[in-house]
Amino acid sequence: MGTAPESSFELRIAFILQNKFTLAAFSGFIDALRLAADDAAKSRQIRVGWDVYSLTGGQVAASCGVAVATMPGLPDPKGYDYVAICGGNSYADDTPAPALMQLIKLAHTQGVGLLGICTGSFALARAGLVDERRYCIHWNVMEAFKSRFPRAQISLDRIFIDEGDVITCAGSTAAIDLALYIIVRHCGSERARQVMRHMMMTSMRPASVPQAHFFQLPPDGTDTRVRKALHFMEQQLDQPPNNLAIARYCSISLRQLERLFRANLNQTLGQAFRSMRLNYGRYLLLGGSLSVMEIAHITGFADTAHFSREFRKAFGETPSAFRALSRRPSAEIGSEERGAVREAAI
């Protein structure tokens, strides 16, 4: 392993890029560090330092195909405040990576912080760092993570989670918020505000901001085929499949799948999917310029009247009334109404 140079940096991070890493998460995080590092915003590593490594050295391709150059070898963790594992589309590759496992365990033993960026959390869990820790997992890989690490506590109601020695992040733009959180800790609030000004951000999202997913997590012990169906339904919300397509995806008959939904969730398949689509519709009503008719179409309802009828049955008001409420100044909204709008943002 290479040796990091001694320095007077306020913050120093070693990035480990995995194959097919998520470019947005890595680039957003490291760009925040770049802007915090230099008073003149000239990208010089003065206050903050970083190095980028990989298991193979040389160029590593992101999931979008863009290649990033990495340093040879792997770092000595003790030269850094954090080792950040940046994952992406290769999370399903369960082939052991002894050098990475060794690095993670060494960093943990030395008291160096570990960051799981996007699906980099899979590597931390493979290294045995599960115990009583909560893991922040992107909703799209929740089932894959749960199937591999059933003892892990998973959270989808936050964009990152700090467990002291391990910090995990859902990925994508949430990595910028995590970077700002760490910059505040090591470099101060003013340094973080400098980053936000340059990145044209008005604020830093707290860890407690929920992820935008639209299904209730099934209870532990739920049949894996029901979990698989719910995951497929969540992924297809913009083009809702019919029930037969969902059953085919799960490799069972529709009758079998219906029985499983009733036994596990006390709901029919249709009821579960309708609830998910209505939650998505409520989320879409909060922002943007989509009309109620367009939202009805996107969420798979026959027409505006059908969507409005089901929406009112579920939430006690019409889509138009909910949208009007969400656009009123918060000072004019009562606590119960404010709670409904906050819940819809989840």
List pLDDT tens digits, range 69-81: 999 999 999 999 9
User: From residue 211, how far is each of 58, 100, 148, 315, 317 by CA, in Å?
Assistant: 34, 29, 22, 21, 24
- pLDDT at residue 316 is higher than 80: yes
User: From residue 191, how far is each of 41, 196, 281 by CA, in Å?
Assistant: 11, 9, 39
More confident residue, 7 or 128: 128
More confident residue, 289 or 190: 190
DSSP characters for 274-317?
Answer: HHHHHHHHHHHHHSSS--HHHHHHHTT-SSHHHHHHHHHHHHSS
> How much of the chain, in percent, has pLDDT values that exceed 70?
92
3-state secondary structure at position 99? helix
- pLDDT at residue 250 is higher than 50: yes
Tens of pLDDT, residues 12-63? 999 999 999 999 999 999 999 999 999 877 889 999 999 999 999 999 999 9
Question: Residue 289's pLDDT is what?
Answer: 82
User: From residue 154, how far is each of 79, 139, 165, 342 by CA, in Å?
Assistant: 30, 10, 17, 22
Question: Residue 329's pLDDT is what?
Answer: 58
Asked if 20 and 63 touch (Cβ cutoff 8 Å), the reply is: yes
Q: Angle CA(154)–CA(178)–CA(166) in degrees, nearest 5? A: 50
pLDDT band at 104 (very low <50, low <70, confident <90, very high): very high
Q: Could you tell me which residues come within 8 angstroms of residue 251 by beta carbon, excluding any fewer than 6 positions away?
A: none
Tens of pLDDT, residues 172-218? 999 999 999 999 999 999 999 999 999 999 888 899 887 877 777 78
Average pLDDT value for the chain: 89
**Nearest partner of 281 among 263, 265, 296, judged by Cα:** 296
Question: Residue 332's pLDDT is what?
Answer: 45
For the domain spanning 224-344, the CATH number is: 1.10.10.60
Q: Which has the minimum average pLDDT: 66-80, 248-262, 285-299, 325-339?
A: 325-339
- Report, at the CATH architecture level, how domain 11-198 is classified: 3-Layer(aba) Sandwich (3.40)
Q: Could you tell me which residues come within 8 angstroms of residue 40 by beta carbon, excluding any fewer than 6 positions away?
A: none
Question: Residue 266's pLDDT is what?
Answer: 94
- pLDDT at residue 88 is higher than 70: yes
Q: Where are the chain's structural domains?
A: 11-198, 224-344
